[in-house]
Amino acid sequence: MLAAILLTAPCATTAQETITNTATANWTDRGQAVTATSNTVSFPVEVAIAQLQTLRYVPDGSSTITLATPTCGEGSMMLSGNRAAITLSGSLQPSDSFRIGELLYVRITAPSANRSATEIDHLQIKTVTSSGDEELMTIAETGANTGEFLAAIATTAIPPSPTRRDCQLSVHDGDSITVEIADSTIPLGTQPVSSVQVLADPYGLVFDSADGTPIDGVTITLIDDATGQPAQVFADDGFTGWPSTVVTGQAVTDASGTVHPMPVGEYRFPLAALGRYRLRVVPPGGFVVPSTVPLENLRAIVRPEGDLVELSDASFGGVVTLDSPNPVRVDIPMDSPSVAASVTKVASREVINPGDPVIFTVLASNPNAKRALFNVSLKDTPSRWLRFVPKSVRVNGQSAEAAVQFADDGRLMTIALGRIAAGETAKITYAMTARPDAPAGEATNIVQLSDERGQTSTAQARVRIEDEVLASRMTLIGRVTAGECNVRESRVGIPGVRVMLEDGSFAITDIDGRYHFEGLVPGTHVVQVAEQTLPEGGRFIDCANSTRSAGNTTSRFVTGQGGTLAVAD
């Protein structure tokens, strides 16, 4: 279904002329010639002026219209099937649209050209395009003594280059067409002219919702919404049958045997009766309709010729209404084959004790290098012995409290991740703690990732909960203080400093600058302080100057055995 714009120039229906009459008498009196002249009488009369109107055929079956094809010199306009006359089952309606390849209908009302009351008269018209084509055609009166002339003018696309006087108009996108009466034998006060602006043929396009790539091989059927059956479709001439099912990118053969090439990804249903229709779309393997990509993303996609796509309810399986002769364009987005997002999950610690924290890291990756994933959601179902730390959730390092929801019983966390761009990965971190009454054993934590297509991926991480036995664990204590290394007594503690271990667990120094970690697995640990949490202007210095700091003022290696107390100041 296509679109264009048609402009007509109205003119007055009548003009006023003056009839002047003077009587003259001649006779012979006694051999002499005598002449006498009367007075002159003048009076005005109304003379009908020719009018020209452009029309578009609507195959609504309302009436039967027959018109002869125009002649051009020795030849006549060629129609499919070599018909000399056109019979239409429908109506001709004034229209402000026109398409390349369509028959342009022109009605001329010219009482002055109605020279015979018993014979069908003929009228000559001239059509000129801005691309340089010119056609001189003779058209016939619709019947004896009607004064109405009806023409059907064939149009074709450029390229190839236009040929003058070949009885068809060659036009290009953006051309203008001028139609005027060219019969000099008819005395007309004003020559009516119609100007037609030809726009692009915007065929319906089926495109990949990811990047706008046209998609061939999509089967589309025009369905009558009232009956649920394939609709009756006509070619551009309005009477040659056209298939109700076409395949994007494949040439269409109409009922006359004429082959109509289709551009990549495009389809056409040139003419159908006014009414409500649907487009039944059968995608090739792997593609999905209707598209689930958000409408605001789809509206930004550009067609191959540079225009934005046109989307409506019909683009997603809804009704398309034809309520005027003006054509309608329906572009159809289609989601390409997609791979579900991949997800991995790891825990910061393999072994914890009741009351201990553990940090989980989830990586949600979109493996599709071409298509983004939309409405991505992450759901975490932990072991009954683990509890969420709500304010610990981070997405790509940023707080995500607004996107997180927790079930009332605390057994489910949902994070709305939204869009993951093609080839991108989202990093999600959050903390949990083991319940104080957690028994020894394995705690499994399951995460599920889903997108707008319903595709899901799952991952899990396990931690082992062990009974807290003092003899099998070590304790780490320490203090963060202010002052130079030579200050030995009455050192002032610094509160609010963040102290971390290698597994991500952390503590905050109290009012006296003290911190501690209990229940650590015996062995070597790395304790580090966050320098940015010091009061403004503060910095750490290494007073011990030992190998356990490895020259780093903010970290220490600490080694201990079960039941021991390690100190790192």
392-403: per-residue pLDDT in tens?
999 999 988 889
2 has pLDDT over 50: no
The CATH number of 470-567, from 2.60.40.10, 3.40.50.2300, 3.40.50.300, 3.30.230.70, is: 2.60.40.10
Output the pTM of the full model. Answer: 0.47
3-state SS assignment for residue 163: coil
From 184-188, 443-447, 515-519, 521-525, the region with the lowest mean pLDDT: 184-188
353 has pLDDT over 60: yes
Q: Using pLDDT thresholds of 50, 70 and 90, give the confidence band for residue 74.
A: low
Q: Which fold has domain 342-465?
A: Immunoglobulin-like (2.60.40)
Identity of residue 239: F
Cα dihedral sign, 518-521-522-526: negative
325: cis peptide before it, omega within 30°? no
pLDDT score, position 176: 74
Instruction: List the structure tokens of 379.
Output: 């759901």
The pairing of strands 332-334 and 425-434 is unpaired
Instruction: List the structure tokens of 194.
Output: 């119609």
49-67: per-residue pLDDT in tens?
778 888 878 777 788 888 8
Q: Using pLDDT thresholds of 50, 70 and 90, give the confidence band for residue 8.
A: very low
Q: Which fold has domain 204-334?
A: Immunoglobulin-like (2.60.40)
From 205-209, 460-464, 551-555, the region with the lowest mean pLDDT: 551-555
297-319: per-residue pLDDT in tens?
899 999 888 889 999 999 999 99
Give the separation between CA 55 and CA 27, rounded to whole angstroms: 59
- CB neighbour class for 48 (10 Å; exposed up to 12, middle 13-18, buried from 19): middle
355-392: per-residue pLDDT in tens?
889 999 999 999 887 778 888 999 999 999 999 998 89
Mean pLDDT computed over 502-520? 91
Instruction: List the structure tokens of 401.
Output: 């409290």
- Enumerate the domain spans of the chain: 51-197, 204-334, 342-465, 470-567
CA 564 to chain centre: 67
Nearest by Cα to 330 from 197, 211, 207: 207
